[in-house]
Structure 1
Amino acid sequence: MSGGGGPRQRGGGSAERPPPGRRREELLGSKRKQKLLLIHQALTSDPVAVETLRGAAVSEGGLLTDEIRRKVWPKLLSVNVYNLPPKPGRAVRQNHKDYTQVQLDVNRSTRRFPQGMRAEQRQVLQEQLIDLILHILRAHPELHYYQGYHDIAVTLLLVAGERMGSALLEKLSTHHLRDFMDPTMDSTKHILNYLMPILQRESLRLHDFMLRAEVGTIFALSWLITWYGHVLTSFPHILRLYDFFLASHPLMPVYFAAVIVVHREEEVLACDCDMPSVHQLLSQIPQNLPYESLISRALRLFQRHPHAELAKQAALQHHKSISIGSFTAFQLATSHQRPDAVLRRQRQQDSAHAEATALLPTAGHSPLVKAAVWGISATLGAAALAVTQTALEWAPEFLLQLF
């Protein structure tokens, strides 16, 4: 006969379960390790598994660290980190029509830099930010500066540095942000016009209330054109949204705006039904939003209400959006990237070829040698020189060795 009613434990002791807090930490730690492994495998596969990287950027927690972002953001935008542009120089400021406005906006952006950063360090970054913005504008005369563009640029600069930040900003400016950079506000208004149809499909009561209040959509303008960088005070929250938007369709910030408004539906309906009251409420975003659940909800909205269906409404069907129209081709282009290890080997091989060329006998020894040297130089030429220069100026190697 057994002397006890309960099951016996090994070693004569009782089994102790870890407290709920520790179990949750262990679960989060396990999920984090799984995501790190998944990202590593996606980055090293050939071609790079961009869809897997998009999934990691969108899923709970996003890309976890800035080191990982420096590896993944370029892949999401099809940027070759071994062929980065040179650092923007001060020459971009000369006689540039936007220099004064850019300088004013950047000088007012002190709150966008981490708290506790030394003033001297912040000033250096602000100067880099000015040059970075003007470099893009000078390289693409078809793009027009808007106030708020610097909020996106500073986020890229703080995470990726000057050279990679410049390459990322150029891709965004010619794709996701392209409609905001037209000479008029027509394309920006077009993007804003997607908001009300989404609200109408999600909550007719809320939609009708906002129509009666005549509040319009201008309250969301700064949200969209800065990817919420101007209205949020928490840098981690901003980075979480950037992970999400970089991996998504250019209209995703509009869907996210819709879920914010729906999330605050009861607050809105409790307002006086007039433009000043509703605008004042909505233009102030609460800083304690449940970002992960809102991101999940925005994804569901995007699937449930495709932008092509929304565009059939009269207010949207007559305008051609460059950002929307070019996105499919842009997304397809990202699927043919080589992993960084392959790009690094190619750079090393090109550098070796350049060194071998430099060691050849001088052309004066023989007409045949002269012709051979000319042929090699023409083949490698500026490409080898540019790759070598990129290697010399590139960020510390540890940024490229995350795993």
Structure 2
Amino acid sequence: MQMASEAESKHVVDIDAAADHDTPATAHAKARILDACEQMDIDALKTLAVSPGGLLSDALRSQSWPILLGFDPEGTGDTTEKPPSWRDMERHKDEDQVKLDVDRSFVYYPNDNSQAELDLKRTELSDLITEVLRRQPYLCYFQGYHDICQVFLLVLPPAARAPAVARLSALRIRDFMLPTLNPALSQLRLIPSILDAVDPELCAHLSRNEPYFALSDTLTMFAHNVQRYSDIARLFDVLLAREQVFGLYVFTQIVLVRRAELFGHDEPDMLHFTLSKLPQDLDLEVVIRDAARLFAEHPPESLRAWRSISSASALKTTRDVRACAGQSLEDGHRFFDRQVRELEWADRQKEVLQTVWTNRGVILTIAVGVGAFYLRRTSMWSVIVPWWPTRLGGS
């Protein structure tokens, strides 16, 4: 508890210390963010997160992000009945992979920590991920999840980290934590739909590639490839304030910004390589502004590929950010189970179709034989049989 109170105090000090150096515009924006947090006003935070500068500082983010995710950051430790310690819970099946990924974490930031400080952060990151997975054992870990979690670890005080990541996992990035990545791949097909609506020529140029080039960025909320901490924190402001599908519009807008560069490549492999690496000189404020305009002009419901997205997908259950903030972890589990059942049903259908296609000759022979057997027992067959040789020129 002492660690949590020290971290929380640090955020309060950050706000007070920065106030002495604010411009009038920044001071006004800060006051609006603090007021929105006090009122738990998600609509106001949504507007502020998209506006230039976003939520301004980690001190303000530590108050805003929990609200956007649907819990009170001041009440994370106030429950009268303490849950059992996650350390006493059964190991999650993916913990070995978690360890491998955590050992590779904090590559780009923070870049001013000693080795001992980085080792401590990796221990905290491992504990954070393990706690979330053990408390929600139905979730499947994916490589890149640690990139998301490390941003939450750096921004939020300790008491808020696990609740925030748990709600993010169950309610917002749930599609990526299913037993298969098929729903994640289905999401990627919205990118060509958006591109086709706004720039058919560029869409046609890229159509030789499946949009798998976007998988790393969409899976990790861009945290795997963005190298500056200030940039990823800024991106998280808007990704948490907007519906889950908005990240696909951000990626599409980045593709549009790179239009001239992409037309300089004709080989599919080179296009894939180029698109899978984010340029580090992006003007994020312009990208966010234009992605919001792109979303307004071509909303998800107007896209052909939207119809193939499951109604239980996080893309559809987060369309109203306020409604999503009101959902419970149990709601997320129910959506997860619905998606699993849909995936199992799709697999069974695929197996049946594959079996039918593989045995199509045998099935056709049986069908003809059965048809002939029943037709012979009808009066119509007794007319057709004598008539058929005559039509063929027989006697």
Question: For residue 203 of structure 2, what is the aligned residue in structure 1?
Answer: 207
Shift of 1:140: 1.4
1:192 touches 1:217 (CA, 8 Å); kept in 2? yes
Write out aligned runs for 1:79-158 (5 A).
79-84=71-76, 91=87, 95-158=91-154
> In the alignment, does 2:266 pair up with 1:266?
no
Shift of 1:112: 4.3
2:148 touches 2:220 (CA, 8 Å); kept in 1? yes
Distance change (3 Å), C-alpha of 1:40 and 1:318? closer
AA at the equivalent of 1:145:
Y
Between the two proteins, the alignment pairs up a number of residues equal to 302
Q: Say which SS state the counterpart of residue 227 (structure 1) adopts.
A: coil
Q: Match for 1:277 among 263, 270, 286? A: 270
AA at the equivalent of 1:304:
E
AA at the equivalent of 2:212:
I
> In the alignment, does 2:300 pair up with 1:300?
no
Write out aligned runs for 1:151-230 (5 A).
151-211=147-207, 214-230=208-224
Question: For residue 302 of structure 2, what is the aligned residue in structure 1?
Answer: 309
Aligned mates of 1:87, 1:146 — CA distance in 2: 26
Distance change (3 Å), C-alpha of 1:164 and 1:255? same
Aligned mates of 2:134, 2:171 — CA distance in 1: 17
Shift of 1:242: 0.2
Unaligned runs of 5+ in 1: 1-27, 337-403
Shift of 1:334: 4.2
AA at the equivalent of 2:254:
I
TM-score of the superposition, structure 2-length normalised? 0.72
**Could you tell which deviates more after superposition, 93-102 or 246-255?**
93-102
1:132 touches 1:166 (CA, 8 Å); kept in 2? yes
Question: For residue 62 of structure 1, what is the aligned residue in structure 2?
Answer: 54
Sequence identity of aligned pairs in percent?
A: 30
1:113 touches 1:122 (CA, 8 Å); kept in 2? no
Q: Say which SS state the counterpart of residue 184 (structure 1) adopts.
A: coil
Question: For residue 332 of structure 1, what is the aligned residue in structure 2?
Answer: 323
Map Cα deviations across residues 131-153 of structure 1 (whole Å, 9 max, x no partner): 21121111112211000001100
1:107 touches 1:126 (CA, 8 Å); kept in 2? yes
Aligned mates of 1:318, 1:50 — CA distance in 2: 26
AA at the equivalent of 1:195:
I
RMSD after superposition: 2.2
Aligned mates of 1:330, 1:54 — CA distance in 2: 9
Question: For residue 388 of structure 2, what is the aligned residue in structure 1?
Answer: none
Q: Say which SS state the counterpart of residue 87 (structure 2) adopts.
A: helix
2:89 touches 2:134 (CA, 8 Å); kept in 1? no
Aligned mates of 1:183, 1:329 — CA distance in 2: 26
Question: For residue 65 of structure 2, what is the aligned residue in structure 1?
Answer: 73
Shift of 1:57: 1.2
Shift of 1:295: 0.3
Distance change (3 Å), C-alpha of 1:133 and 1:318? closer
AA at the equivalent of 2:185:
K
Shift of 1:67: 0.4
Question: For residue 245 of structure 1, what is the aligned residue in structure 2?
Answer: 239
Aligned mates of 1:317, 1:184 — CA distance in 2: 17
Question: For residue 30 of structure 2, what is the aligned residue in structure 1?
Answer: 36
Distance change (3 Å), C-alpha of 1:266 and 1:234? same
2:152 touches 2:161 (CA, 8 Å); kept in 1? yes
Q: Say which SS state the counterpart of residue 139 (structure 2) adopts.
A: coil
AA at the equivalent of 2:62:
R
Question: For residue 319 of structure 1, what is the aligned residue in structure 2?
Answer: 310
Distance change (3 Å), C-alpha of 1:202 and 1:190? same
Aligned mates of 1:224, 1:316 — CA distance in 2: 20
TM-score of the superposition, structure 1-length normalised? 0.70
Unaligned runs of 5+ in 2: 1-21, 328-395
Aligned mates of 1:35, 1:292 — CA distance in 2: 16
Q: Say which SS state the counterpart of residue 199 (structure 1) adopts.
A: helix
Aligned mates of 2:309, 2:31 — CA distance in 1: 46
**Could you tell which deviates more after superposition, 281-290 or 106-115?**
106-115
